[in-house]
A and B are shown apart, each in its own frame.
Chain A
């Protein structure tokens, strides 16, 4: 277990969400998509040219930009 943020994970890594440091609009959206403290999250792939990330949380695949992913603190498992 090591603390890092979601944007720093590599494809294939799984981690647990520790905390979300997002402004309210983003926070609400993340909550609705299933991002909650303690949830398992898996990095599926990262788009080339510093593009967005694809992560899997529960039964949902979500894409988000690296800048937003950096606001999500995770503990790598």
Chain B
């Protein structure tokens, strides 16, 4: 099968074009010579199936950033049959350097001058026929967003693929530093073919920036926007999530329970409480992920994400992160999973890993449920909000502390020099495609991991079969007992320890697990907890719940995004260690003070 590689600088609309070509039917895959996954899709072109690969946006073929190395290694090890080079027409006078670098590699090239609509608005005119003759390459003007010029360009691609691939001579592969004549070549081509007005007139972007990046108003507006997004995901996502959960429960009660009634009790339990509940847990994340990426696509494609980076960079630079990391950290307060997936906008791997190490400390909505239950059970109505607020403070403090401690280990070496693209209206199609691709990615990666984890915890809490489920005689009970030397110093008893083992799957089921363990539910459970625990123990339990492993889905996502067992393990060990130390310091400190 022939292969087409999409190449271009960041902010050229390359991904939009990729989505248009593949119709969202892209898959993530590995390639020889590189360690990151790339999106690719197969389409029918002129009667043959061809594979299109979306390479990361790069500024310079010879640059040192992670992405630039990925592209270089990809081209070296997987010479494409055709390089489809996408240039942003509004910035053609500098983007053409990348095209000339690629041309030196003797690739089979078709050039697309994208964002033709925007360039026209700016008064930039390009003599395509003349440029095509000067460079000896087929060149097309197009607007990937609206689809104009697209059919002609596709025809040219089909035609270009008929030629045999020239292949890349070894001396060309190694010739990577000879750029001197590119400057003069650039000037020559541009002089004859491109007219750029002396001053660009993008009044809308300038007006918006004067408000959104205002020295005093910028930050409050940013926080208001973040708050609205957060609320939006919560308000729309919560009912859908509830609906999905209800649908799964209904299906279970109406169809699966009667269907499996004939099987032995233990097998029924394993299938229903183990595997089926695991699937339901995964499914419950889907609405949140879809919404998150709909909103993220909106922020990113509109150009506001770069502005957020501009506004928050002063603070985040001190933590070894950048402004985009802050957006993800905030999103983590809704749900850690999409926030971790969202770190893909950061192109430097070190910074991305550091951000991924920090995000799990964000107090997500699932943990909030546990805290609301516990504060209601053990604190007065007046103290409860203060207790909740203090947990948010702990969440922020540990996130900052983690960044400070690890910022030298995950040192970002890429220069922080970013483009601020003009504001654009993202199309609905773009947003939906994005959400869809991300959900498929999550489902494919996380399902097995999560189902396996849920089954394991079911086995732990139900074996041996003679024991009372989740009781002291089960494997979980024995582990809880064995772990007591660790948990007693932080004031967590055996029953709560078993609940924490459940909490490893998802914090949503901690309260449900406690109901099973105590054999009580609702008001009776909070009464029993209030009777058995004092506030110091309860607060210590909440601190531990806040800081230790968020949930199985988060662990699965950490692994699928980092693709490094060592990193996932580091995140697990670090959060467990911090959880224990903080709870220990609090519990022993409070006891020493006589509480």
Contact with B along A36-73 (1 / 0, CB 8 A): 00000000110111111010001111111100100000
Q: What are the residues of chain A within 8 A of B59 when measuring CB–CB?
A: 28-29, 32-33
B122 within 8 A of A: yes
Q: What are the residues of chain B within 8 A of A45 when measuring CB–CB?
A: 209, 213, 215
B416 with A64: CB separation less than 8 A: yes
Nearest residue (CB) in B for A25 is: B64
A31 within 8 A of B: yes
**Which of these, A26, A51, A59, contacts B310 with CB under 8 Å?**
A51
Bound-state CA distance A45–B420 (Å) is 12
Q: What are the residues of chain A within 8 A of B213 when measuring CB–CB?
A: 45, 47, 54
B314 with A33: CB separation less than 8 A: no
Bound-state CA distance A52–B318 (Å) is 12
B413 within 8 A of A: yes
**Which of these, B9, B94, B414, contacts A25 with CB under 8 Å?**
B414
Of the listed residues A33, A59, A60, the one surrounded by the most CB atoms of chain B closer than 10 A to its CB is A59
Bound-state CA distance A45–B215 (Å) is 9
A47 with B310: CB separation less than 8 A: yes
B309 within 8 A of A: yes
B254 within 8 A of A: no
Bound-state CA distance A49–B59 (Å) is 29
A18 within 8 A of B: no
* B 294-331 contacts with A by CB, 8 A: 306, 309-311, 313-315, 317
**Which of these, B64, B122, B218, B310, contacts A28 with CB under 8 Å?**
B64
Q: Which 10 A-B pairs have the closest CB atoms?
A: A32-B59, A51-B314, A49-B314, A34-B94, A26-B415, A25-B64, A61-B420, A32-B60, A64-B417, A28-B63
Nearest residue (CB) in B for A30 is: B417
B122 with A62: CB separation less than 8 A: no
Bound-state CA distance A41–B330 (Å) is 35
Q: What are the residues of chain B within 8 A of A58 when measuring CB–CB?
A: 91, 93-94, 196
Could you tell me the distance in whole angstroms from the C-beta of A7 to the nearest C-beta in chain B?
13
Interface of A is mostly: mixed
Q: What are the residues of chain B within 8 A of A63 when measuring CB–CB?
A: 306, 309-310, 313, 417-420
Nearest residue (CB) in B for A65 is: B416
Q: What are the residues of chain A within 8 A of B422 when measuring CB–CB?
A: 61
Known: A25-B415, A64-B417, A65-B317. Contact between A32 and B93, CB under 8 A?
A: no
**Which of these, A50, A59, A64, contacts B90 with CB under 8 Å?**
A59
**Which of these, A24, A49, A50, A68, contacts B417 with CB under 8 Å?**
A68
Bound-state CA distance A45–B422 (Å) is 15
A32 with B94: CB separation less than 8 A: yes
Q: What are the residues of chain B within 8 A of A60 when measuring CB–CB?
A: 91, 94, 419
Chain B interface residues toward A at CB < 8 A: 9, 59-60, 62-65, 90-91, 93-94, 97-98, 122, 124, 196, 200, 209, 213, 215-216, 218-219, 306, 309-311, 313-315, 317, 413-422
Nearest residue (CB) in A for B416 is: A65
Could you tell me the distance in whole angstroms from the C-beta of B245 to the nearest C-beta in chain A?
43
A29 with B313: CB separation less than 8 A: no
Bound-state CA distance A52–B418 (Å) is 10
| 30 sampled A-B residue pairs with Cβ under 8 A | A22-B415, A25-B65, A25-B414, A26-B417, A29-B60, A31-B60, A32-B98, A33-B59, A33-B419, A34-B93, A45-B209, A45-B215, A47-B310, A47-B313, A51-B313, A52-B310, A54-B310, A58-B93, A58-B196, A59-B93, A59-B122, A61-B422, A62-B418, A63-B309, A63-B313, A63-B418, A64-B415, A65-B317, A65-B416, A68-B416
Kindly state the interface size class of chain A when it binds its partner.
Answer: 20 to 34
Could you tell me the distance in whole angstroms from the C-beta of B114 to the nearest C-beta in chain A?
14
Q: What are the residues of chain B within 8 A of A34 when measuring CB–CB?
A: 91, 93-94
B414 with A62: CB separation less than 8 A: no
Bound-state CA distance A54–B420 (Å) is 8
**Which of these, A22, A28, A47, contacts B314 with CB under 8 Å?**
A47
Bound-state CA distance A64–B413 (Å) is 14
**Which of these, A33, A44, A48, contacts B94 with CB under 8 Å?**
A33
Q: What are the residues of chain B within 8 A of A51 when measuring CB–CB?
A: 310-311, 313-314
Q: What are the residues of chain A within 8 A of B415 when measuring CB–CB?
A: 22, 25-26, 29-30, 64, 68
Nearest residue (CB) in A for B124 is: A59
Bound-state CA distance A55–B288 (Å) is 37
A49 with B317: CB separation less than 8 A: no
A59 with B91: CB separation less than 8 A: yes
Could you tell me the distance in whole angstroms from the C-beta of A12 to the nearest C-beta in chain B?
12
Could you tell me the distance in whole angstroms from the C-beta of A43 to the nearest C-beta in chain B?
13
Nearest residue (CB) in B for A22 is: B415
Nearest residue (CB) in B for A39 is: B94
B65 with A52: CB separation less than 8 A: no
Q: What are the residues of chain B within 8 A of A59 when measuring CB–CB?
A: 90-91, 93, 122, 124, 196, 200
Bound-state CA distance A24–B177 (Å) is 12
Q: What are the residues of chain B within 8 A of A26 when measuring CB–CB?
A: 415, 417
Could you tell me the distance in whole angstroms from the C-beta of A46 to the nearest C-beta in chain B?
8
**Which of these, A30, A62, A65, contacts B420 with CB under 8 Å?**
A62
Nearest residue (CB) in B for A48 is: B215
Could you tell me the distance in whole angstroms from the C-beta of A18 to the nearest C-beta in chain B?
18
Bound-state CA distance A71–B64 (Å) is 19
Bound-state CA distance A61–B218 (Å) is 18
Could you tell me the distance in whole angstroms from the C-beta of A6 to the nearest C-beta in chain B?
12
Q: What are the residues of chain A within 8 A of B196 when measuring CB–CB?
A: 58-59
Q: What are the residues of chain A within 8 A of B65 when measuring CB–CB?
A: 25, 29
Bound-state CA distance A62–B393 (Å) is 35
Nearest residue (CB) in A for B183 is: A36
Could you tell me the distance in whole angstroms from the C-beta of A75 to the nearest C-beta in chain B?
20
Known: A45-B213, A48-B215. Contact between A62 and B417, CB under 8 A?
A: yes
Nearest residue (CB) in B for A42 is: B199
Bound-state CA distance A61–B419 (Å) is 6
